[in-house]
Chains A and B, each alone.
Chain A
Amino acid sequence: MSMSSDQPAAIPARIDHPVKRVFKEFVEDRVAVLGLALFVIVAVIAIAAPWLAPQDPYALAQLDIMDGGLPPGEQSFGTGQTYWLGTDTQGRDMLSAIMYGLRISLVVAFVSLGIAISIGVIVGVAAAYFGGRFDAFVMRIVDLQLSFPAILIALILLALFGRGVDKVILALVIVQWAYYARTVRSSAIVERRKDYIDAARCLALSHRRIMFRHLLPNCVPPLIVVATVQIAQAIALEATLSFLGVGVPITEPSLGLLIANGYDYLLSGRYWISLFPGIALVLTIIGLNLVGDRLRDVLNPRLQK
């Protein structure tokens, strides 16, 4: 990679900015691009739901109980609008309900991601930088937590907190911070021994500045990979918790809760109430997993060309 200084004659090939290189390599894989496109579409739908949805699924005045349980493609008895994905038992347009549900699912996942990453990064970098007892203590907690399945911990926390969007977010943060702390710590501990950190120390920069301006930027690639995988996990976990009845409240149904609502009607053949929210959920998760898979290859220094 680096040219030795006594050969100035050979002009190195232009080295792209790392972000540009990652982008270039990322788009080489068509499946990954498809995954990214999938996720972008889902995100746009979620953000624009109030403008895109044919109906506000939670304005009760707009619902007509006469339209309850219509299969996909049927028309409303009252307004004549077509329910492309059918209706639930209260006459709610499933397409609209899914768009709004997607919003809640994504908000829960991304807010918890943001908080968990912040906590994980601070704790992880500090543990690697200071080492010693603090490091041992923090990593013991991380190990202890990660030795138990995430779903078990989240389930218990929510049984304790009760239902609510904020409570689900809190539970997801508690479950997830440890992954980020461990990831950041393991790369930071390698970086810490490098010369540029010693150099920064010699300049008598503050600990905070060394940690976050020098150490952290070099720990970002593995963090991105873990974050893509974890966000997909968070979406699935939230849906599972809501399905089990300990997640979001009935007034703010995420995709998981929509699926749970349809569960009772599955055996009577009204499959669409559960099927379509599930497809939306799966497409979101698959999109993120495909992106994460490719990023893992692109950002892995051992596989770099």
Chain B
Amino acid sequence: MIVYLIRRFGQSLLAIAAMAVLVFLGVYAIGNPVDVLINPEATQAEIAATTERLGLDKPLYEQFGIFVVNMFQGDLGTSFVFGRPAMDVILDRLPATMELAMVALILSVGIGVPLGVWAGLRPDSIAGRTIMGGSILGFSLPNFWQGMLLILVFAVLLGWLPAGGRGTTTEFLGMQVSFLTLDGLSHMILPAINLALFKMSLIIRLTRANTREVVLQDYVKFARAKGISSRRVVMVHILKNIMIPVITIIGLELGSMVAFAIVTETVFAWPGMGKLLIDSINLLDRPVIVAYLMLTVLIIVSINLFVDILYSILDPRVRLSEMKG
């Protein structure tokens, strides 16, 4: 087990290191931020001064060295636009994104799993087919357009919900959150649904496929033969056995939810990290782009690591095959 843990941990570190190099090289190649930041009528001396102040006059390898050393100190440079440490700028926006992702995750699991089990138990019923049809639709709707439809229907035509922004926020565990005020909640409904629908479709399909397989197993037949109520068969015998793959997927999808939030945040003007990334790309604010990417990579890699370890505890076969390979 220890060997497996060390190995898996090493892989994660390698992934982060590889991404750090790629991110740095990639972002370095994007335009010259000085052109964007400085007044077009600035003199040559002013341009040179700004370049020097931002450390852009040093050779590439030196910039990378400084970047790595600073990264280990939690310093990813100062935002060109905000004039504050890039990490602080990102961390300011992190709660908004995390809040949105968590609510969307809860929605997609809370609705997706029951619907999937239902469709799996009765694959040929009208309800089962409707659920599957709906999940294909959820799969096929491009996220940004689906968000615009939600705005069109619920904000423009019906006028029930606000079209964008985060609404009133309150302090909760030292973070600004929306879900504790009515206004904040009303702002959150549309973006959360928008972010949840795709994952919900994924979970429905996965749960349905697993349910269909588990229903045919002998232990389910045996439990039925024993006369256990079908409610108990579903809740205990079936649900327990489909949850392992479902939990794995949920874990892995949480990371991608943070990335997917980029689109939803842009459509709904939700002031999270994703919107910040798009703004920063347009303004060539390199330190913020790098900080966003490194943070997202860290989040995704840690979640993957966590899920893998959890999985190997639940299912020893994974661990064994990994150690052999």
Give residues in A with beta carbon < 8 Å to B. 144, 147-149, 151-152, 155-157, 159-160, 232, 236, 239-240, 243-246, 256, 259, 263, 266-267, 269, 271, 274-275, 278, 281-282, 285-286, 289-290, 293
CA separation between A171 and B19, bound complex, in Å? Answer: 17
- The answer on a CB contact under 8 Å between B142 and A144 is no
B105 → A minimal CB distance (Å): 15
Query: Can you pick out 9 interface pairs between chain A and chain B where the beta carbons lie within 8 Å of each other?
Result: A144-B15, A148-B297, A160-B29, A239-B145, A244-B266, A259-B148, A266-B152, A278-B149, A285-B140
A32 → B minimal CB distance (Å): 11
A162 → B minimal CB distance (Å): 8
Interface residues of B in 229-281 (CB under 8 A from A): 255-256, 259-260, 262-263, 266-267, 277-278, 281
Tell which of B26, B142, B152, B282 touches A156, judged by Cβ atoms closer than 8 Å.
Answer: B26
Give residues in B with beta carbon < 8 Å to A. 15, 18-19, 23, 26-27, 29-30, 136-137, 139-145, 148-149, 151-152, 155-156, 163, 255-256, 259-260, 262-263, 266-267, 277-278, 281-282, 289, 293, 296-297, 300-301, 304
Tell which of B148, B259, B260, B300 touches A263, judged by Cβ atoms closer than 8 Å.
Answer: B148
CA separation between A49 and B255, bound complex, in Å? Answer: 40
- List the 4 closest pairs (A to B, CB-CB), nearest first: A149-B259, A278-B145, A149-B256, A152-B259
A149-B260, A274-B148, A278-B145 given; A269·B156 CB < 8 A: yes
Enumerate chain B residues within 8 angstroms of A240, measured Cβ to Cβ: 142-144, 263
Enumerate chain B residues within 8 angstroms of A149, measured Cβ to Cβ: 255-256, 259-260, 300
Enumerate chain A residues within 8 angstroms of B29, measured Cβ to Cβ: 160
B304 → A minimal CB distance (Å): 6
A259-B144, A259-B145, A290-B136 given; A147·B151 CB < 8 A: no
- The answer on a CB contact under 8 Å between B163 and A267 is yes
CA separation between A57 and B309, bound complex, in Å? Answer: 55
Closest to A35 in B: B136
- The answer on a CB contact under 8 Å between A282 and B148 is no
Tell which of B19, B142, B278, B282 touches A285, judged by Cβ atoms closer than 8 Å.
Answer: B142
- The answer on a CB contact under 8 Å between B18 and A144 is yes
Closest to A139 in B: B325
Query: Which of B23, B152, B301 gathers most chain A CB within 10 Å?
Result: B152
- The answer on a CB contact under 8 Å between A236 and B301 is no
Closest to B296 in A: A152
A26 → B minimal CB distance (Å): 16
